[in-house]
Structures are given as structure tokens and as C-alpha cells.
Amino acid sequence: MASLNKVPEAGKEAAVGAVSTQPSVVELFQSRNLLKRELDLAVAERDVLRADVEDLRKRYDEAHRQLTSLEQMLLDPEKGQSAILYFRLRAIWDTCRQQLRVLAEDLSTRQEQLESGKHMASGEQRKAAKLQEMQRLVEMVEKNRQLLEGTISEMETQSLKLRRFWHRKKRERLQAQIEATREKLSPLGKRKAELMASLEAARKEPISAFSGISVPARRAINLAALAMTQYLYLHFSEHNISEMARSAGTKPVSDVNFGMSNDVVTIGAQLRDVVLKLKADTGRPEKLKLRAEYLRQKVTYKSAEDTVPEVSSMDYMLLTAVNSNALDTVSNALPVNVLHLNYWDVQSVLLQPPQKTEEEAPLPDIKVVGTGD
């Protein structure tokens, strides 16, 4: 009977041991949550990849459609000549757009280097002035402390001389003055320690980061880009090349037609002459300078913080005077708004207002004429 009773006990202990080796419910739930998070991430990545594949498929279909259309155009003698002219005009559009981009990037880089250098120099000066003022306060507190210690030393020396019994009251008064003066030393020591800690923190404090090109500089860069946009438009307006280049730059080849073969050949010859004239224009820098200055005085901005002019303020442009680099203020202005029509993709290179920090209060919504800065 005793042996029979021991068998169930042994089996019970084995069962308990087996249960203890199994994972707990909490561990199972943790594993389940981990697997669910990994599954969610995998599903999200799969959805992104599917969207990318779909986008690539659409782009491939569109490129294939355009290529097929181009092949069909090139097989046709009339349309083939028009397609060749299209890509020549497209090259002009891309070249002008690239010139605007290079101009804006070059001016922005130089201005950022200039302003960031001034910002760092100004920050160093402000920090040096702050440290100097804090050092002056430390020296002032230390000087006051030394004066008090000198006063206490003198009074203690004087007290030692008052040894006669009739000097008792005078000695007591002097001792009270010593104690009162000594009590002033502790606050001065505490103040000095606080100033020293602040001084050390100020030394380690970095100069504030450069927040970007200023609004006046952004406006000036944008006006330079707009001046070049007008200049290029006016130059290529000969033989209506500007408008044809815009069509080539904004439409697919299948959507444009430049006429019969004779017309296309004529336009091609005109195109070559106008491009050569642009390369030979030595007065370009002066023309751009005068035009940018005129725009600075003419354009308006919606608010004091805007950097891109109001579109309506550029509805007209002045022509360049004949045999001169100056603007023609006598002839009628040309009713072409290069900003609205986005010639040479100028809108993509214009600098937008700097991002405002959360601490900055919004500026009042007022109209500003010119840069006026």
C-alpha cells in the first residue's frame, strides 16, 4: 500500500515539472503582439511596394505610348520634321530653365555664406559682450566681499585694542558690528557662486543656428530670376520662338504641330540665328541689372513677409531700348506675365518665405510696394 501511494505523488511531481516548462500566458500574448506588429510592418511595406510598382507601370505605359507616337511621327515626312523641331525647341526651354536654376542657386549660395558669416560674427560679439558683463558682475561681487573682509579685519584689530574694563560697551558695540558685517559675507559668496555657474554655462552655450536667408535677400534673388525670365522671353520672342518653346516645354511631342515641312525648315533656321544672337549679347549683365532694379520699384507683395511678388504686379513688361541696354519707357509695355505663364519654369526656382518658428508672432497682413527694406 505504501508503494502504491508513492506512485501518484511521483506522477504529480512530473506533471508539475512539465507544466513549469511550458510558456506562460503572458509570454504567449507578448509573442502574439510581437508577431502582429511584424505582420503589420510587412503588410505596410507590401502596400508601398505595390503602389511603387503601379506607379512604375503607369510611367512605363506613358513612356511606351509617347515612344510609339514619336515613331509614328518620324515615319511621316511632314510630322517627322515637326518632331525634330520640337526637340530643338525643348532644348531651348530646358537650357533657359537651367540658366535660371543656376542663377538662383549661385545667388542663394553666396548670400547664405555672407549672411551666415555675419550671423556667426554677430553671435560671437553678443556672446563676448554677455560674458564680459557677467565677468564684471563676478568681479564686483568679489570686490564687495573683499571690502567687507577688510572692514571686518580692521574692526577686529580695533577690538583687540579695547582691553580696559571701561571699553566694555564700546567693545560690545564693535563686536555687534563685526557680526552684522560677517553675516553679509554668506549672501555675497552664494551670489558669486551663482554668477560663476551662469558664466560657465554661458561659455558652453552654442551660438544660435542660422535661420536662413533674410526676406530682403530672397526678394532680391527672386527679382533677379524674374528679370532673367523676362530677358530670355524678350530675346526669344523674335519669330515667336518663346511661345513655341513653351509649347515644347509643357506639352508632349504628339500634341504640337509647327506646320508644313517648309515652315519647319524656316523656323529651324530662325531658331539657330536667335540662339547665336543670345550667345553674342555682351550687354546681358547690364540689361539684367537694369531690369531687376525696375522690378524692385514696380512689383508689390501681398504681405511684409512674402518673397514672391503678386502675380498681378507683373502683368506688363518693358521692352529693351533699341541700340541700348536700358529699358524702353516710351514704347507701350508688353502684356505678357512671365510669372503667371511660368516661363522657363521660373516658379520652381523662386525662394519662398523662411519658415517661422513657433515663438515668432505673425506679421501684420499689409501690402508692400517694392522691396522697401
pLDDT of amino acid 371: 38
pLDDT in tens, 192-226: 888 888 888 888 888 888 888 999 999 999 999 99
* Domain parsing of the chain, residue ranges: 24-59, 121-204, 214-354
CB 223 within 8 A of CB 292: yes
- Hey, what's the cell of 66? 509617347
Higher-confidence residue of 127 and 371: namely: 127
* Confidence label for 318 from pLDDT (cuts 50, 70 and 90): very high
- Hey, what's the cell of 184? 553679509
Q: What is the pLDDT averaged over residues 101-124? A: 91
pLDDT of amino acid 321: 82
Give the separation between CA 344 and CA 96, rounded to whole angstroms. Answer: 6
> Following CA atoms 101, 102, 105, 110 in sequence, which dihedral angle do they give, to the nearest 10 degrees?
-150
- Hey, what's the cell of 188? 555675497
Determine what percent of the chain is predicted with pLDDT higher than 90: 36
CB 256 within 8 A of CB 196: no
Q: What is the pLDDT averaged over residues 341-361? A: 80
> With 90 as the cut, is the pLDDT of residue 122 above it?
no
CB atoms within 10 A of CB 266: 14
Supply the angle between the helices 77-161 and 185-204 in degrees, to the nearest 10.
160
Give the separation between CA 137 and CA 304, rounded to whole angstroms. Answer: 41
> With 70 as the cut, is the pLDDT of residue 69 above it?
no
* Confidence label for 228 from pLDDT (cuts 50, 70 and 90): very high
334 φ, ψ (degrees, to nearest 5): -85, 125
Give the separation between CA 110 and CA 288, rounded to whole angstroms. Answer: 18
> With 80 as the cut, is the pLDDT of residue 70 above it?
no
> With 60 as the cut, is the pLDDT of residue 357 above it?
no
pLDDT in tens, 4-56: 455 455 555 555 555 555 667 778 878 888 888 888 889 888 889 888 888 88
pLDDT of amino acid 303: 93
pTM of full prediction above 0.75: no
CB 336 within 8 A of CB 317: yes
> With 90 as the cut, is the pLDDT of residue 329 above it?
no
Q: What is the pLDDT averaged over residues 160-167? A: 76
> With 70 as the cut, is the pLDDT of residue 95 above it?
yes
Q: What is the pLDDT averaged over residues 173-200? A: 85
> With 90 as the cut, is the pLDDT of residue 245 above it?
yes
**HEC letters along the chain:** CHHHHHHHHHHHHHHHHHHHHCCCHHHHHHHHHHHHHHHHHHHHHHHHHHHHHHHHHHHHHHHHHHHHHHHHHHHCHHHHHHHHHHHHHHHHHHHHHHHHHHHHHHHHHHHHHHHHHHHHHHHHHHHHHHHHHHHHHHHHHHHHHHHHHHHHHHHHHHHHHCCCHHHHHHHHHHHHHHHHHHHCHHHHHHHHHHHHHHHHHHHHCCCCCCCCCCHHHHHHHHHHHHHHHHHHHHHHCHHHHHHHHHHHHHCCHHHCCCCCHHHHHHHHHHHHHHHHHHHCCCCHHHHHHHHHHHHHHHCEECCCCCCCCCHHHHCCECEECCCCCCEECCCCCECCCHHHHCHHHHHHCCCCCCCCCCCCCCCCCCCEECCCC
pLDDT of amino acid 174: 82
Mean of pLDDT over the chain? 83
CB atoms within 10 A of CB 252: 13
Residue with cell 565677468: 135
> With 90 as the cut, is the pLDDT of residue 190 above it?
no
- Hey, what's the cell of 228? 532673367
Lowest mean pLDDT among 76-90, 218-232, 243-257: 76-90
* Confidence label for 168 from pLDDT (cuts 50, 70 and 90): confident
